[in-house]
């Protein structure tokens, strides 16, 4: 359970760091937020081999995709550091892929390829599309977009953990852990984004910023 909690906190930190770089907010706590984010990144990479393989791969391929299609999203030093850290971790897993495969079942592998990865890839594509369609940082449109994401994510988490639908109910523990970790990090990012953005939008409308 603590892994899921750390994922939620990780998502909150990622959003705060975005505001630090994009909007020059929370600058007095910049070093603390970044240090904690890197510590949690290393924790995920070193604590659980399955999350480590998935997380490092996500940073590697997500980082490459970001550089190619949304360079502004990964131009901050903190993201470059995390992408740089992820490369040797991911390469280590590739060199030891047989050990990883031997520790899981064929069902784990099949579900990861045909159930988990399509969800992850589709989610990342939606994130890129959202960034293209709603580029502005402060607006009611951006706030409504995040509220919509909140509803979608909380619904997905409910189905993932409590639904009797076979697609979710039949997921192995490893694949459910991966999806929960990914979704809760995104959920933390959105929850903190709604709170911060609602306050900033209110201040903009009142002309206090």
| Contact (Cβ atoms closer than 8 angstroms) between residue 73 and residue 189 | no
Residue 66 has pLDDT above 60, yes or no: yes
User: pTM of whole model > 0.85?
Assistant: yes
Distances (CA, A) of 83 to 62, 109, 110, 205: 9, 25, 27, 37
**Would you state the pLDDT for residue 202?**
55
Residue 203 has pLDDT above 80, yes or no: no
Q: Between residues 206 and 48, which one has the greater pLDDT?
A: 48
- Across the chain, mean pLDDT equals 89
Q: What is the pLDDT of residues 13-36, one digit of tens each?
A: 999 998 888 777 788 899 999 999
- The three-state DSSP-derived secondary structure of the chain is CHHHHHHHHHHHHHHHHHHHHHHCCCHHHHHHHHHHHHHHHHHHHHHCHHHHHHHHHHHHHHHHHHHHHCHHHHCCHHHHHHHHHHHHHHHHHHHCHHHHHHCCCHHHHHHHHHHHHHHHHHHHHHHHHHHHHCCCCCCHHHHHHHHHHHHHHHHHHHHHHHCCCHHHHCCCHHHHHHHHHHHHHHHHHHHHHHHHHHHHHHHHHHCCC
**Would you state the pLDDT for residue 204?**
52
| Contact (Cβ atoms closer than 8 angstroms) between residue 111 and residue 175 | yes
The mean pLDDT value for 167-190 works out to: 95
Residue 73 has pLDDT above 60, yes or no: yes
Q: How far apart are CA 116 and CA 50, in angstroms?
A: 13
Q: What is the pLDDT of residues 38-47, one digit of tens each?
A: 999 999 999 8
Distances (CA, A) of 186 to 63, 96, 120, 192: 16, 29, 11, 10
**Would you state the pLDDT for residue 86?**
96
Residue 209 has pLDDT above 60, yes or no: no
Q: What is the pLDDT of residues 114-165, one digit of tens each?
A: 999 999 999 988 887 887 787 776 777 888 899 999 999 999 999 999 988 8
């Amino acid at each position: 359970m603590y892994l899921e909690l750390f994922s939620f906190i990780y998502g909150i930190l990622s959003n705060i760091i975005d505001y630090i770089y994009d909007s020059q907010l929370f600058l007095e706590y910049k070093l603390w937020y970044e240090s904690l984010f890197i510590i949690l990144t290393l924790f995920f990479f070193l604590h659980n081999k399955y999350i480590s393989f998935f997380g490092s791969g996500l940073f590697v391929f997500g980082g490459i995709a970001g550089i190619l299609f949304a360079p502004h999203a990964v131009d901050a030093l903190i993201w470059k550091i995390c992408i740089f850290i992820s490369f040797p971790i991911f390469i280590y897993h590739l060199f030891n892929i047989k050990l990883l495969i031997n520790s899981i079942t064929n069902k784990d592998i099949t579900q990861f390829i045909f159930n988990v990865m399509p969800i992850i890839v589709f989610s990342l594509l939606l994130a890129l599309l959202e960034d293209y369609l709603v580029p502005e940082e402060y607006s009611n449109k951006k706030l409504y977009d995040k509220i919509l994401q909140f509803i979608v994510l909380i619904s997905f988490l409910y189905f993932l953990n409590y639904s009797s639908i076979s697609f979710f109910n039949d997921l192995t523990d490893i694949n459910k852990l991966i999806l929960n970790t990914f979704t809760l990090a995104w959920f933390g990012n959105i929850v903190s984004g709604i709170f911060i953005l609602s306050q900033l939008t209110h201040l903009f409308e009142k002309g206090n910023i």
